[in-house]
């Protein structure tokens, strides 16, 4: 909600502020959207949250023996509303005058409420207690896992606290959706040709399969979709993760615990003694984890992992920077899946139209053809007036060939490898995203977010379009996403 759900009267009594079952007047909106109120007015996100939130705040204002119960109700209300909106993260963060509650929906943060200072602080302390963390030690960043039930449905929460200005903490709550582990390859948004490449590799399992992309691009979801295709009835899968996210029935999972000496190399050696057929390493993030993963894959085990890189061939550069030799990369690297996420247009309110001048300028600047018709976001009740509903993946799939093997052995650089893939017809993440634009699935604005994490290069050809004369553009601020 905008502004505060809570105001103080002149007598000091706490009073409810919003009746969210009605549409606010223009005057109310003008008042609530003033800069001093900190948050924009998003009534659409609050019609179902505000009445219950006001009731909980009223109970808390009365205090007494019911205050703890009311704080529990307040937190549950925020969680329940978040799951209703398919929220992935909840942010509760301190402001100069109070606390702001925000939901991350389809990758974007939306303001949903502002709490008074004392209520926000008590809510933070309540979550401390719920997660069995000492609220006194608020000067250190901390995190914990917290299983809860929302509307009778089990949900795992990952809560993280960090000290901020004025000795107050920010709380971030990640809602881990258990349905995520049940998604198949067909649910990821892959084109048929890309899905066929992965399916073909699954019939000849060997080496390493690495999934690359920026944080929050769906890499873990892709790994779990691949796991679902493995023959686990007759083979063993073991994982080592940091952090551990989802429990997988019948799979040996190890959580990294560096404080007690359980590092990636130690964990991998332990996994190998469990006689696995397949190994999943949550993330390659440094030289130690990369070399340990390569050592494990060299023993004949299939290894799945994620890595941060700008595109598929950028994975080769990352492995080299971590000290992995070219002959190891050429021999063990079988498949690289580079990906991003884009928001999908709401099917109920999207509208066709001619490309705008800005869209034409951007598409030409990156060397992509300008379609005659594009679809644009409009906004309705179904999509909370954002114009988008849900997200889908956009991909670049690189299956290593014999020619790639020899090029890596010959120490070919990233540019040379990339040109080889373009000549072979392997499309980029940006080109795949543009296909989604042509099909009316997403917008040019959305694929610009994908372009921020990819590299432009010479010689790329949009699928199904003649190459013609191409221009190579350099994007301002172009940078790669490096491993942490």
DSSP SS3 for 310: coil
Residue 172 lies in a domain: yes
β-sheet with 87-95: strand ranges across? 108-115, 98-105, 87-95, 169-176, 153-163, 142-150
Q: Would you place residue 313 in the very low, low, confident or very high pLDDT band (cuts 50, 70, 90)? A: very high
Residue 245 and residue 286 in one domain: yes
Q: Would you place residue 137 in the very low, low, confident or very high pLDDT band (cuts 50, 70, 90)? A: low
Residue 479 lies in a domain: no
Residue 480 lies in a domain: no
Residue 159 and residue 209 in one domain: no
Residue 35 lies in a domain: yes
Q: Would you place residue 159 in the very low, low, confident or very high pLDDT band (cuts 50, 70, 90)? A: very high
Q: Are strands 169-176 and 302-307 parallel, antiparallel or unpaired?
A: unpaired
Q: Are strands 278-281 and 302-307 parallel, antiparallel or unpaired?
A: parallel
Domain boundary among 158, 176, 194: 176
* CB 146 within 8 Å of CB 135: no
Q: Would you place residue 347 in the very low, low, confident or very high pLDDT band (cuts 50, 70, 90)? A: very high
Whose structure tokens read 């909600």?
A: 1
Residue 341 and residue 403 in one domain: yes
Residue 210 and residue 357 in one domain: yes
Rounded distance, CA 75 to CA 69, Å? 10
Average pLDDT in the chain: 80
Closest to 88 (Cα-Cα) out of 187, 155, 164, 163: 155
The half-sphere exposure of 437 on its side-chain side, counting CA atoms within 13 A, is 28
Residue 170 and residue 192 in one domain: no
Domain boundary among 151, 176, 201: 176
Residue 154's Cβ-count burial label (10 Å; 0-12, 13-18, 19+) is exposed
Closest to 47 (Cα-Cα) out of 89, 8, 2: 2
Residue 163 and residue 187 in one domain: no
Residue 208 lies in a domain: yes
Angle between helices 67-84 and 117-130 (to 10 degrees): 80
Q: Would you place residue 47 in the very low, low, confident or very high pLDDT band (cuts 50, 70, 90)? A: low
Residue 364 lies in a domain: yes
Residue 150's Cβ-count burial label (10 Å; 0-12, 13-18, 19+) is middle
Rounded distance, CA 307 to CA 321, Å? 13
Helix (H) or strand (E) holding 366: none
Q: Are strands 388-399 and 333-345 parallel, antiparallel or unpaired?
A: antiparallel
Closest to 130 (Cα-Cα) out of 179, 78, 178, 207: 78
Domain boundary among 176, 191, 223: 176
Closest to 343 (Cα-Cα) out of 316, 376, 311, 374: 376
Highest mean pLDDT among 28-42, 234-248, 278-292: 278-292
Measured in degrees and rounded to the nearest 5, phi and psi for residue 167 equal 60, 30
Q: Would you place residue 71 in the very low, low, confident or very high pLDDT band (cuts 50, 70, 90)? A: confident
Tally of domains within the chain: 2
Residue 444 and residue 337 in one domain: yes
Residue 208 and residue 121 in one domain: no
Q: What is the CATH number of the domain that holds 184?
A: 3.40.50.300
Instruction: Identify the pLDDT of residue 423.
Output: 93
Residue 166 and residue 186 in one domain: no
Instruction: Identify the pLDDT of residue 61.
Output: 66
Distance of alpha carbon 269 from the chain centroid: 30
Residue ranges in 366-464 assigned as alpha helix (H): 402-409, 414-423, 429-438, 444-451
Instruction: Identify the pLDDT of residue 452.
Output: 67
Measured in degrees and rounded to the nearest 5, phi and psi for residue 17 equal -110, -40
Reply yes or no on whether the pLDDT at 25 is more than 90.
no
Reply yes or no on whether the pLDDT at 191 is more than 50.
yes
Instruction: Identify the pLDDT of residue 453.
Output: 57
Rounded distance, CA 318 to CA 338, Å? 13
Helix (H) or strand (E) holding 256: none
Residue 483 lies in a domain: no
Residue 326 and residue 389 in one domain: yes
Residue 361 and residue 394 in one domain: yes
Q: What is the CATH number of the domain that holds 60?
A: 3.30.450.90
Whose structure tokens read 């594009």?
A: 374
Distance of alpha carbon 93 from the chain centroid: 20
Reply yes or no on whether the pLDDT at 249 is more than 70.
yes
* CB 190 within 8 Å of CB 339: no
Residue 397 and residue 315 in one domain: yes
Residue 79 lies in a domain: yes
Instruction: Identify the pLDDT of residue 63.
Output: 61
Reply yes or no on whether the pLDDT at 479 is more than 50.
no
**Exposure pattern of 288-321 as b/e (b: 16+ CB <10 Å)?**
ebbbbbbebbeeebbbbbbbbbbbbbbbbebbbe
Q: What angle do CA 284, 287, 289 make, to 5 degrees?
A: 40
The tokens describing 147, both together, are: 């299983």
DSSP SS3 for 274: coil
Question: The domain containing residue 74 runs over which residues?
Answer: 6-176
Rounded distance, CA 307 to CA 286, Å? 10
Instruction: Identify the pLDDT of residue 305.
Output: 94
């Amino acid at each position: 909600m905008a502004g505060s759900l809570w105001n103080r009267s002149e007598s000091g009594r706490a009073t409810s502020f919003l009746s969210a079952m009605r549409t606010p007047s223009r005057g109310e909106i003008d008042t609530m959207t003033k800069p001093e109120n900190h948050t924009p007015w998003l009534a659409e996100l609050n019609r179902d949250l505000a009445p219950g939130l006001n009731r909980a705040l009223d109970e808390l204002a009365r205090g007494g023996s019911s205050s703890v119960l009311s704080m529990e109700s307040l937190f549950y209300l925020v969680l329940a509303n978040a799951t209703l909106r398919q929220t992935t993260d909840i942010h509760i963060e301190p402001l100069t005058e109070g606390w702001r509650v925000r939901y991350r929906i389809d990758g974007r943060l939306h303001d949903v409420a502002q709490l008074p200072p004392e209520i926000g602080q008590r809510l933070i302390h309540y979550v401390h207690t719920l997660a069995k963390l000492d609220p006194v030690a608020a000067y250190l960043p901390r995190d914990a896992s917290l299983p809860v039930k929302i509307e009778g449905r089990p949900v795992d929460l990952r809560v993280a606290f960090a000290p901020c200005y004025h000795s107050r903490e920010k709380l971030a709550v990640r809602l881990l959706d258990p349905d995520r582990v049940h998604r198949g390859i067909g649910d990821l948004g892959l084109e048929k040709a890309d899905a066929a490449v992965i399916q073909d590799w699954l019939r000849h399992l060997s080496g390493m399969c690495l999934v690359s992309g920026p944080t929050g691009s769906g890499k873990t979801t892709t790994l779990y979709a691949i796991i679902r295709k493995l023959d686990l009835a007759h083979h063993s899968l073991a994982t080592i993760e940091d952090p551990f996210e989802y429990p997988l029935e019948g799979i040996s999972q190890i959580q990294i615990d560096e404080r007690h000496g359980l590092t990636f190399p130690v964990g991998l050696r332990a996994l190998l003694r469990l006689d696995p057929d397949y190994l999943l390493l949550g993330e390659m993030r440094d030289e130690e984890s990369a070399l340990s993963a390569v050592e494990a894959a060299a023993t004949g085990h299939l290894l799945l992992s994620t890595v941060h890189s700008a595109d598929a061939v950028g994975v080769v550069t990352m492995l080299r920077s971590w000290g992995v030799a070219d002959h190891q990369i050429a021999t063990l690297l079988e498949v690289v899946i580079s990906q991003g996420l884009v928001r999908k247009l709401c099917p109920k309110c999207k509208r066709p139209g001619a490309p705008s001048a800005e869209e034409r300028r951007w598409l030409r600047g990156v060397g992509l053809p300008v379609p005659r018709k594009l679809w644009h976001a409009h906004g309705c009740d179904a999509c909370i007036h954002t114009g988008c509903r849900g997200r889908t993946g956009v991909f670049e799939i690189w299956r290593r060939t014999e020619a790639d093997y020899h090029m890596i052995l010959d120490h070919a650089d990233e540019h040379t490898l990339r040109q080889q893939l373009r000549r072979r017809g392997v499309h980029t993440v940006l080109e795949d995203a543009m296909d989604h634009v042509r099909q009316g699935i997403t917008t040019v604005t959305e694929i610009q977010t994908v372009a921020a994490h990819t590299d432009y290069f010479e010689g790329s050809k949009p699928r199904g379009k003649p190459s013609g004369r191409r221009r190579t553009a350099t994007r301002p601020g172009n940078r790669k996403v490096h491993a942490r």
